[in-house]
Structure 1
Amino acid sequence: MTLIAPRTLITAGAAGIGRRMVEHFLEAGARIIVCDVDETALARLAEERPQVTGVRADVSDEDDVVRLFKTARERLGGLDNLIANAGIAGPALPVEEVSLEDWRRTMAVNIDGMFLTVRAGVPLLKTAGGGSIVTLSSAAGKFPYPLRTPYSASKFAVVGFTQTLAAELGPAGIRANSLLPGVVEGERIERVIADKAAARGVPEAEMRAQYARFAALETMVSPDDIAAMAVYLCSPAGARISGQAISIDGAIRSLA
């Protein structure tokens, strides 16, 4: 699958889902710049994929975001696709035990960071004559998620933000869609499972099995599943898709 246009920025692109997105977008012919807060992962990416420009940036820091998009203009000459992937899990605690600091940090990365990223990227997409914005929400942006109030609230916000972008930016030829992954294989979900098992006082194996049962297919999803959909939305096949919240979750029915 090829892209409509190649210049692509991926936030949190040095590890996890973002790293798989790098591989899928490279296969589709993209020229890529990524940011990440993990300097070790950025160094590994530079070694493995020297054609990808990596920038150390925290999306919740306005100065970092300004510097990131300055680099995008310098290295890519503009932007066609913006993949707002950065996010954190936040605490796994009963709401009365969530600190204001943890609440604000989760919101700062998951929604403030997305706003800062999009605000900086839209002028470049308009200059390009249009483009694609893909944001990362979650099944927790569709279903209530007990013990994860900061995360779920932020991911519901991402969906509303993205659908509003689609309405606002459509006349400029800019499409905006949100991906809602289910339970994604990897280190982050293992940390969440461990924290939630501890909060509920149950074995981790029992909590892991419960997570698998959330989906009708009784399976977690792969980062590759998510990356492939992001490429699709930036390809000619996705040229008329905008304003959608697309679930990639094996048919999750509940997170409770």
Structure 2
Amino acid sequence: MTLRGRTALVTGGGGPLGRAFALALAGAGARVVLTGRSERAPAEAAARVTERGGAARTAVCDVADPASVARLAAELVDEDVSLLVNNAGVAGPVRPLVDIEPDEWDEVFAVNVRGVYLMCRAFLPRMIAAGRGDIVNVASVSGKRPLLNRTPYTASKMALLGLTRTLAGEAGPHGVSVNSLSPGPVRGPRMDRNFRLTAELTGCSVQEAERDFASRAALGRLVEEDEVARALLAMLAMPGLCGADIDLSAGMIAPA
């Protein structure tokens, strides 16, 4: 598969998964635009892309802020963005629902759901006008199974699945495919943070928290960043895929 001649916009481009997406997309020939709330982290990821011979640029954007998204759309008016990867997200608090403050809840939904809505609202019209495009929303296996003490996150990811399926019905007739990619626990800083918080909450060790979590997957392990990036490329290589959710969780939703 080649993405040569296409421009891919990746939100949350400064994080580990955003960097993995950027490297994979650029490796397939796409020009990549990486966004983040600040320019430093996306710039580091863009540098990795260019070091490998790819084409990348960065832009600052807070996906939860309509004005910031509008500025991004204006900044990229000369870019033919035909591929949007909504990867920006926050993990939110790790506590029982009754101990979560309303502003904490709102922050999770602002980024994880409102941000996807705003980005699609800004860039989908261009794809519809061109008669082609792909939108991939990064959801989570946590939107399809219980994850104790993580209600804002799981609720936001379940909302994202509904957004994806409905938008696919709206955009598909115009030649634009909308799908979601639901990773399971991806090895990296975010999961390390969650294991530490779980350990503090339950009194177990960080290692025990990780082992317990990984044991819920059929393969008994976490998913690697490059595996998720390869799954993204596989989705883009399936032109008939629309309104689908791809589970990449090492069997996390498999029955125990």
Q: Please give the TM-score of this superposition, normalised by the length of structure 1.
A: 0.93
1:161-176 to 2 correspondences below 5 Å: 161-176=163-178
Question: Are 2:70 and 1:66 equivalent residues in the alignment?
Answer: yes
Give the letter aligned to residue 114 of structure 1. Answer: V
Structure 2 counterpart of 1:165, which letter?
L
How far residue 46 of structure 1 moved from its aligned partner, in angstroms, is 4.4
* 8 Å Cα contact 2:4-2:30 kept in structure 1: no
Please report how far the alpha carbon of residue 39 of structure 1 lies from its aligned counterpart in structure 2 after TM superposition.
3.1
2:245 aligned residue: 245
Q: CA, structure 1 residues 253+233, in 2 after alignment: closer, same or farther (shift >3 Å)? A: closer
User: RMSD over aligned Cα, in angstroms?
Assistant: 1.7
Which runs of no fewer than 5 residues in structure 2 stay unpaired?
A: none
Q: How many angstroms apart in 1 are the aligned matches of 2:222 and 2:210?
A: 10
SS at match of 1:202: coil
The number of residues matched between the two structures is: 252
1:207 deviates by 0.4
Ranges in structure 1 where 5+ consecutive residues have no aligned partner: none
Corresponding residue of 1:35: 35
| 1:128 Cα deviation from its structure 2 partner | 2.0
Matched residue, 2:58: 54
Partner of 1:142: 144
Deviations 1:208-253 (A, max 9, x none): 101111100001001111111212222xx31100111110011113
CA shift for structure 1 position 203: 1.3
Matches within 5 A, 1:86-97: 86-97=88-99
Q: Equivalent residue for 1:208?
A: 210
1:255 is displaced (CA, Å) by 10
Cα distance in 1, alignment partners of residues 246 and 187 from structure 2: 18
3-state SS of paired residue (2:77): helix
Conservation of the 8 A alpha-carbon contact between 2:73 and 2:123: yes
Contact 1:12 1:34 in 2 (8 A): yes
Identity %: 35
TM-score normalised by structure 2 residue count: 0.93
Structure of greater relative contact order (alpha carbons < 8 Å, 6+ residues apart): 1
Spell out, residue by residue over 1:117-152, the C-alpha distance to the aligned partner (whole angstroms, 9 max, x if none): 111011111122111110011011110111000000
**C-alpha displacement of 1:28:** 0.7
Whole-Å separation in 2 of the counterparts to 1:11 and 1:128? 22
Deviates more, 1:115-124 or 1:41-50: 41-50
- The one-letter code of the counterpart of 2:39 is E
Against the structure 1 CA distance between its residues 200 and 255, is the aligned structure 2 distance closer, same or farther, given a 3 Å change threshold?
farther
* Structure 1 equivalent of residue 20 of structure 2: 20
State the AA in 1 paired with 2:44.
R
> SS at 1:58's partner residue?
coil
| AA matched with 1:29 | G
Whole-Å separation in 2 of the counterparts to 1:155 and 1:18:
17
C-alpha distance in 2 between matches for 1:124 and 1:202 = 50
In structure 2, relative to structure 1, the CA distance for the partners of 1:255 and 1:159 (3 Å cut) is farther
